[in-house]
Structure 1
Amino acid sequence: MTEKQELEYDKGLYAEEKAYAGDTLELNEEDEVENSKIEAVRLVVPITDEPSLQAITFRFWVLSLFFGVIGSVITQFYYYRVAVGYFSIYFVNLASYALGTGMAKILPKSQLTIGGYSMSLNPGPFNIKEHCLIGIAVSTASSSAYAIDILSATDLFLNHRINAFGSIVLIITTQCLGYGMAGTLRKYLVYPAEMVWWGNLVQVVFYNAIHNTDEFKTKKMVRGWSYMKYFWIFCGGAFVWEFIPQFLGPMFNFLSWPCWIKPFDMNMWGIFSTLTGGGVLGLSLDWTSIGGATMWLPLASQLCNYGGVILGYWIILPIMWVKNTWEIKKFVYPLTPTLFYGNGSVFHVQDYLNPDYSLNDELYDAGPPATMTPMYALGFFYSFVALAGCVTHVICFHGKDILRNWKMAVGSKDDDIHNKLMKVYPEVPQLWYAAFYLVMLGLSIMVCEVYELQLTWWGMIVAGIIGWILTIPIGAMTAITGFGPGLNVITELICGYMLPGKPIANMTFKCYGYMASYQCMTLLADLKLGIYMKIPPRAMFVSQFWGTLIGGVFNYVTMIAIINSEREVLTSLQGDPAGLWTGASPKVFWGSAQIYGALGPQRMFSTDGDYSFVYYGFLVGAVIPIILWGLSKKWPNVSWEKFNITIIAGGMSAYPNGYITGIVGSIIIAFIWQFWLFRYHKNWWSKYTFILSAALDTGAAFTGLFIFIFLSGGISEKLLVNAPSWWANYIAFDPNYNETANGGYMGIDRCGSTGLWDSGNPYQ
């Protein structure tokens, strides 16, 4: 279908449903309304604006603070939990809408003056722009700052705690350094229409639906329901259902059903367990393991990702496990970031550190060397493939577009319609971004020097340079496909060669280098949402920084509270027998710090060792996109660019970043929505997909929030309620929990044995 034909199709869709052509102007046969060249954007993003609406209001400050605090606490809480949950922005959207409209009705219209700044307590009806800005601030606050990994790892595994002021400055600077970069890169990664940033589209639909904008006033759903009635019905259904996998029967989140055939067989455990093994054919009935993004992310990107998971954990891992490749079975768990000695006993780097936490080379070299598990080493190989593949893929398939968009970004006649509508608002001056970047860089150097994080000032500069160089290709791929690699592995590798024997320096360098890029892309994505929603850029800048401040403070407070109360469980190799708490994330971070920082890549990936192959990942990742590009020239009718080695390698390195759950359900949902419905029932897809995705995600988030506050002792231990013990909710056998144990399985997915094995006892 040509672009003109697609536009004609959209006109017909508008005439039929009066919504998704994205224009509120009156159409006739002679008119041809300008719209985005991206089909999904045309279907859901309006091309109208009301510049008179005020975005930064008293209601914004109050509600963003309130929900930002809640979101940062809950997200940090889930960082240490086995069942991965999240604080849904859709819950914030709903609750802030209710409170915002209530404040608009009851607050006086008097002025509030602080210093030389004055604002009205009630500037009028609660509008869509201030609502969206609240959501952006809260979503920024509601993340677990990457610096928490540094603070958690040093506290848990080195018993070294940085004071509160230094910790908060570390958190905020790592979160904010990338904001200055965004000012320059917005020309290339935000303004072009091709840079969709897919996660924004569902929010655009949601905000317009809840505010009943012109495009949504006449839209009726099934049975004549309004948009919001449809939302609340499915949100309520998800809320009720999620109590089963999240509280009453957590086994439904880890349905390792093939393992039940022979639950005490070591091969079955290693291959089929979703908690400790490859999770082959594992199911999950928890919507948080699937997520609404499977309904609208590009199908090709999702298939590449799931294909990588299947290749890495359903094919390669079982082969290695059965054949005992590199003696993988002697390390007990097939997937673990823990380091070991050659005989399979656990390695403790603390035994070889100097008082300043640097490695004592003589002491270490006098003893047996440490090694890692084979799957952990393969994870680094996959990460190198993903990073090199990202750079080469973007150059080969999108390089010309990025160069061409240079002119588009500075206001050529081909400028995107949404950018044209934004020209009525003053931009954030480049000087603001530059000054902000320099201030954060100075504070970053200060915190490294004052709090003895082992990272030199010149090392901090190198970390920043890496972020600048690699953000363009990674950001372009993320904006276009919805997937992109991180800089966490390449940064720790570079620092490992620069500053060997310094684990804290490696974690700090990794955090600043990686987060500069990640936070830059976060702001870029929000800037694109601001363009879709027509929010003034300066208001967007304020909102992002405000959310970062809130999140940094309350991330830290929550981290301290949890570490103080759950330290023994978080540092345990076996984990929590109740299946609730886990130190997996800080263990992974600390494991990498030992490999690249304390011991160094020179030792761990030496040419005479088993794992020297990891460096070939750069070559593999660089070559495959070139081959695909050559094939695209030979057979241009085949979409070779959709075979994305970066996304495939990202799926292959899914662990240790998370458990291998939800794959089967995600594939089914992706095919239904992105293949069948999108291709053959596009009207239905455009009408229902984004609002249904938001409803299900919100319902699941409501459940997690309710459980946290009222059943898990989130506010007070007096509110702690233990779910009844039954076949879908048991506590594995453990010496410390004999009186409550009701199963001899190693994990809540009923795989593995805590006692006698039918075959292959890993503890012998």
Structure 2
Amino acid sequence: MDEKHEIDPEKNINNLEKAYAGDSVSLEEAEVENSRIEAVRLVVPITDDVTLVALTFRFWVLSLFFSVIGSVIQQYYLFRVSSGSFSIYFVNLASYGMGTAMARVLPTSKWTVGGFSFSFNPGPFNIKEHALVGIAVSTAATSAYAIEILSSMDLFLHHQINAFGAIVLIVTTQCLGYGMAGVLRKYLVYPAEMVWWGNLVQVVFYNAMHNTDEFKAKRMFRGWSYMKYFWIVCGAMFIYEFIPQYIAPLLVFFDWVCWIKPFDYDFWALFSSNGGGGAGILSLSFDWTAIGGATMWMPLSTQLSQYSGIVLSYWIIFPIIWLNNVLNAKLYGRPLTSGLYTLDGGRFSIDSVLNDDYSVNEEKYLAGKTATMTPMYALVFMYSFIALAGCMSHILCFHGADIWKTWKQSRDSADEDIHVKMMKAYPEVPQFWYAAFYVVMVGLSCMVCEVYGLQLPWWGLLVALALSWVLTLPIGAMVAISGNGPGLNVITELVCGFMFPGKPIANMAFKCYGYMAMYQCHTLLSDLKLGVYMKIAPRSMFTAQVWGAFIGSIFNYLTMHVIINARRSYLDGSEEDPTGLWTGVNTQVFWGSALIYGALGPIKMFGPSSNYGFIYWGFLIGAVIPVILWGLSKKYTNIKWSRLNIALVAGGMSAYPGGQPIGVLPSIILCLVWQFWVFRYKKDFWSKYTFILSAALDTGAAFTGLFLFVFLQGGISPKLNFSFPSWFLNHYDEEGNAPYKSVDRCGAALNKWESGMLPTPP
């Protein structure tokens, strides 16, 4: 088992691409036992060095350093219009350089205390140590879903819970799924058929970096090494992003069509993308965070399905609704807003009908003006129902037989996967660890709900967790085998809306616990599978996951406080950010859902007496369309009907419930150029540059945003708030005298439109 063999990373990448594309790959079967799954055979080595230790001093230092940076950056982007990300490829590359440097300079002496031996430098920075750093950081470098509860309460209810309660809320929602994973690992990790496809790219990446000769021999543009190429591209993007993010925000929202008729209200609604104004049809963006590196490597069929949904919903359906004023669409001002309105077009204020405990007073609500929403926002919920039902139906129709076959094999076959056999060299995590951890998290969750005024009784929490338990196993099997599966966010808020009408905080809490228990369970299961592929000791994996979750939770909370205090007026909607970058759109959408399903309840908003009772037809539509496509696939066998995934299309149709549809057209262009033309006709170039280039671009853009927030936009002190001088690409006029010159070239001050006026002023 200690025997090593050489790996050709570039060949493995090419083989992985072919496996993903469905092309046949000739493979001379090895005499030794290997995986039953072809893609895994091509990518994952069947050797292991059991002497390598992953939990080292270097791991603790590097994982802490990158976890703090990643959690801060991800939380920062939650409140921004451009949803950038903290690239795990940056972590992999940077931690490799820092880890090897630490291995050269740290003392190698050993200290022994009570029979326990410890060294700051146990040897060369190894591949398992490296992978474990990435796993811990990927756990931490997220924006915890519970942050949406805390920020919504703070911004819209002016209610805060103390730091201890807030951190416990975040930690429990992030960690409940880990206890579930201990029970489900036997079914969703150990069988060879449970591939968890996204891990294969990581396996190739780590093996490429730690195959020293291959890594050093491979040369990029102008003979640069991997690391040199990465840092040069990253630095160039860091400098460039100052232009759209600070110097010339017009380049973020380049709504060029609006310039044709800057005072036409219909043009603004259809073609503006700034500030949640309109649908952004044909809008351009030169901000990389609006495009993202995933556009360069996400499967072409997936992207085309999503973009076709966006075009269908926002470029075709929305103009029809708007120009014909369907359901009084023009009455509510901003067409894609997630806000609530009264039937006469005014903004609905929830504060006037709340009790002291933040529940809705039914008498006050009935005595006042009832609430409604824009047609496009209502359609978002319908599209979500289509996506959920469509995903289940699509998988059942096109992959049901295969899933059932592999599921039976995973349960009944005595032939264990070779990689699972190799993992028997390491002590397994006892089931008791997972069970005890889960019980503690459930207990803390009940305490938070009962003590800190979340409106959700302990038994309501248990219902949310039960719902998650029921759906995690089948959905997890779909994700592991096919790479696709629905979420539980819409279903949980709908169920809670019927259980606890009039209680928006309860709805947010129920949704968060129910959805995140499944999501985090799948995250850990995927990482456990990566640990199997990389031969990392299970107990080290468990420790790294919990460590990352705790670090991420703490710094998510601290960053949230800093940002809300610095940008409160922009995030709660009382003022508009002149740059259009700080909108808090994600939190506004989250709060909007809490009002619809929680405060008012689905019966009021989507009942027979409402305008939007039709949204429930989404379940039937999503369930039926894949059946029709499956039937067509049986008759017209020459067409690959399975590639038309209604779940992905519907996901694109619901992509912008709160507006800000920026970067769509440039993303489509980049997708077609890079994923169609370059991938098909320049395969070697695509293989060599795609992952490292996307990682470098994402990382440089992310650091620009963080730098601007901390040092130029008052992130750490109001004194460090410097606006760039007004000029053509960053024109602002506080008097509103020249709205056509503002960042939003489609806007007109005080709604003084020359054409396309509102039918009734809001």
TM over 0.5, shorter chain: yes
Partner of 1:357: 358
Secondary structure at the residue paired with 1:119? Answer: strand
Partner of 1:570: 571
Could you tell me which amino acid in structure 2 is paired with residue 58 of structure 1?
A: F
Q: Which consecutive unaligned segments of at least 5 residues does structure 1 have?
A: 1-12
Contact 1:188 1:402 in 2 (8 A): no
Secondary structure at the residue paired with 1:129? Answer: helix
Contact 2:89 2:692 in 1 (8 A): no
Partner of 1:754: 749
Partner of 2:541: 540
Partner of 1:464: 465
Q: Give 1:518-667 correspondences, 5 Å limit.
A: 518-572=519-573, 575-656=576-657, 659-667=660-668
Query: Following the alignment from structure 2 to structure 1, what is the Cα–Cα distance between the partners of residues 382 and 564?
Result: 32
Equivalent pairs: percent with the same residue?
65
Query: Following the alignment from structure 2 to structure 1, what is the Cα–Cα distance between the partners of residues 338 and 402?
Result: 40
Partner of 1:453: 454
Mean Cα deviation higher: 622-631 or 607-616: 622-631
Inter-CA distance 274–309: structure 2 relative to 1 (3 Å threshold) = same
Secondary structure at the residue paired with 2:118? Answer: strand
Mean Cα deviation higher: 130-139 or 544-553: 130-139
Q: Shift in Å at residue 438 of structure 1?
A: 2.2
Contact 1:575 1:583 in 2 (8 A): no
Q: Give 1:213-224 correspondences, 5 Å limit.
A: 213=212, 216-224=215-223
Contact 2:63 2:134 in 1 (8 A): yes
Inter-CA distance 277–201: structure 2 relative to 1 (3 Å threshold) = farther
Query: Following the alignment from structure 1 to structure 2, what is the Cα–Cα distance between the partners of residues 483 and 254?
Result: 32
Query: Following the alignment from structure 1 to structure 2, what is the Cα–Cα distance between the partners of residues 51 and 31?
Result: 22
Q: Shift in Å at residue 316 of structure 1?
A: 0.8
Secondary structure at the residue paired with 2:359? Answer: coil
Q: Deviations over 1:445-480 (max 9, x none)?
A: 121111121112221111112212333454455456
Query: Following the alignment from structure 2 to structure 1, what is the Cα–Cα distance between the partners of residues 359 and 64?
Result: 40
Could you tell me which amino acid in structure 1 is paired with residue 249 of structure 2?
A: P
Contact 1:391 1:473 in 2 (8 A): no
Could you tell me which amino acid in structure 1 is paired with residue 55 of structure 2?
A: I
Mean Cα deviation higher: 224-233 or 582-591: 224-233
Q: Deviations over 1:414-472 (max 9, x none)?
A: 76565455443333333332332222122111211111211122211111122123334
Partner of 1:333: 334
Inter-CA distance 571–316: structure 2 relative to 1 (3 Å threshold) = same
Inter-CA distance 498–16: structure 2 relative to 1 (3 Å threshold) = closer
Q: Deviations over 1:514-558 (max 9, x none)?
A: 111221222223223333433223212211111111111121122
Secondary structure at the residue paired with 2:739? Answer: coil
Secondary structure at the residue paired with 2:730? Answer: coil
Contact 2:93 2:227 in 1 (8 A): no
Query: Following the alignment from structure 1 to structure 2, what is the Cα–Cα distance between the partners of residues 412 and 216?
Result: 39
Query: Following the alignment from structure 2 to structure 1, what is the Cα–Cα distance between the partners of residues 117 and 748?
Result: 66
Partner of 1:75: 74
Secondary structure at the residue paired with 1:728? Answer: helix
Q: Deviations over 1:303-355 (max 9, x none)?
A: 11111111111111111111111111110000111111101111111111111
Could you tell me which amino acid in structure 2 is paired with residue 752 of structure 1?
A: G
Inter-CA distance 286–598: structure 2 relative to 1 (3 Å threshold) = same
Query: Following the alignment from structure 1 to structure 2, what is the Cα–Cα distance between the partners of residues 424 and 713?
Result: 53
Mean Cα deviation higher: 672-681 or 281-290: 672-681
Partner of 1:175: 174
Inter-CA distance 529–365: structure 2 relative to 1 (3 Å threshold) = same
Partner of 1:107: 106
Query: Following the alignment from structure 1 to structure 2, what is the Cα–Cα distance between the partners of residues 15 and 60?
Result: 24
Contact 1:253 1:285 in 2 (8 A): yes
Query: Following the alignment from structure 1 to structure 2, what is the Cα–Cα distance between the partners of residues 612 and 646?
Result: 21
Query: Following the alignment from structure 2 to structure 1, what is the Cα–Cα distance between the partners of residues 702 and 414?
Result: 44
Query: Following the alignment from structure 2 to structure 1, what is the Cα–Cα distance between the partners of residues 176 and 10?
Result: 48
Q: Deviations over 1:18-52 (max 9, x none)?
A: 98569xxxx99895787767777666655543332
Partner of 1:380: 381
Partner of 2:21: none
Could you tell me which amino acid in structure 2 is paired with residue 760 of structure 1?
A: G
Partner of 2:160: 161
Mean Cα deviation higher: 357-366 or 373-382: 357-366
Mean Cα deviation higher: 538-547 or 320-329: 538-547
Inter-CA distance 61–115: structure 2 relative to 1 (3 Å threshold) = farther
Inter-CA distance 695–204: structure 2 relative to 1 (3 Å threshold) = farther
Could you tell me which amino acid in structure 2 is paired with residue 350 of structure 1?
A: D
Query: Following the alignment from structure 1 to structure 2, what is the Cα–Cα distance between the partners of residues 105 and 112?
Result: 19
Partner of 1:702: 703
Partner of 1:284: 285
Contact 2:195 2:481 in 1 (8 A): yes
Could you tell me which amino acid in structure 1 is paired with residue 747 of structure 2?
A: G
Secondary structure at the residue paired with 1:49? Answer: coil
Pick the aligned partner of 2:739 from 741, 744, 759: 744
Partner of 1:9: none
Inter-CA distance 195–682: structure 2 relative to 1 (3 Å threshold) = farther
Partner of 1:403: 404
Contact 2:12 2:42 in 1 (8 A): no
Partner of 1:235: 234
Partner of 2:4: none
Inter-CA distance 642–592: structure 2 relative to 1 (3 Å threshold) = same
Query: Following the alignment from structure 1 to structure 2, what is the Cα–Cα distance between the partners of residues 192 and 259?
Result: 55
Partner of 1:299: 300
Q: Shift in Å at residue 641 of structure 1?
A: 1.9
Q: Deviations over 1:178-197 (max 9, x none)?
A: 11222333445445566554
Q: How many residues align?
A: 742
Query: Following the alignment from structure 2 to structure 1, what is the Cα–Cα distance between the partners of residues 198 and 585?
Result: 27
Query: Following the alignment from structure 1 to structure 2, what is the Cα–Cα distance between the partners of residues 716 and 421?
Result: 53
Query: Following the alignment from structure 1 to structure 2, what is the Cα–Cα distance between the partners of residues 391 and 57?
Result: 43
Query: Following the alignment from structure 2 to structure 1, what is the Cα–Cα distance between the partners of residues 399 and 739?
Result: 54
Q: Shift in Å at residue 598 of structure 1?
A: 1.2
Query: Following the alignment from structure 2 to structure 1, what is the Cα–Cα distance between the partners of residues 292 and 45?
Result: 25
Secondary structure at the residue paired with 2:405? Answer: helix
Partner of 1:10: none
Partner of 2:312: 311
Q: Deviations over 1:399-419 (max 9, x none)?
A: 333333335546957765654
Contact 1:75 1:142 in 2 (8 A): yes
Inter-CA distance 488–138: structure 2 relative to 1 (3 Å threshold) = same
Inter-CA distance 242–38: structure 2 relative to 1 (3 Å threshold) = farther
Could you tell me which amino acid in structure 2 is paired with residue 506 of structure 1?
A: N
Contact 2:566 2:715 in 1 (8 A): no
Query: Following the alignment from structure 1 to structure 2, what is the Cα–Cα distance between the partners of residues 759 and 200?
Result: 54
Q: Which consecutive unaligned segments of at least 5 residues does structure 2 have?
A: 1-6, 17-25
Query: Following the alignment from structure 1 to structure 2, what is the Cα–Cα distance between the partners of residues 660 and 291?
Result: 14
Root-mean-square deviation over aligned CA pairs = 3.1
Inter-CA distance 111–400: structure 2 relative to 1 (3 Å threshold) = farther
Inter-CA distance 159–440: structure 2 relative to 1 (3 Å threshold) = same
Query: Following the alignment from structure 2 to structure 1, what is the Cα–Cα distance between the partners of residues 116 and 493?
Result: 45
Mean Cα deviation higher: 536-545 or 613-622: 536-545
Mean Cα deviation higher: 494-503 or 568-577: 568-577
Mean Cα deviation higher: 67-76 or 266-275: 67-76
Q: Shift in Å at residue 234 of structure 1?
A: 3.1
Query: Following the alignment from structure 2 to structure 1, what is the Cα–Cα distance between the partners of residues 497 and 630?
Result: 34
Query: Following the alignment from structure 2 to structure 1, what is the Cα–Cα distance between the partners of residues 86 and 12?
Result: 33
Inter-CA distance 750–187: structure 2 relative to 1 (3 Å threshold) = farther
Query: Following the alignment from structure 1 to structure 2, what is the Cα–Cα distance between the partners of residues 678 and 516?
Result: 37
Q: Shift in Å at residue 374 of structure 1?
A: 0.8
Mean Cα deviation higher: 671-680 or 604-613: 671-680
Secondary structure at the residue paired with 2:64? Answer: helix
Partner of 1:4: none
Name the TM-score, length of structure 1 as normaliser: 0.89
Q: Shift in Å at residue 703 of structure 1?
A: 2.7
Inter-CA distance 310–474: structure 2 relative to 1 (3 Å threshold) = farther
Inter-CA distance 114–152: structure 2 relative to 1 (3 Å threshold) = farther
Partner of 1:257: 256
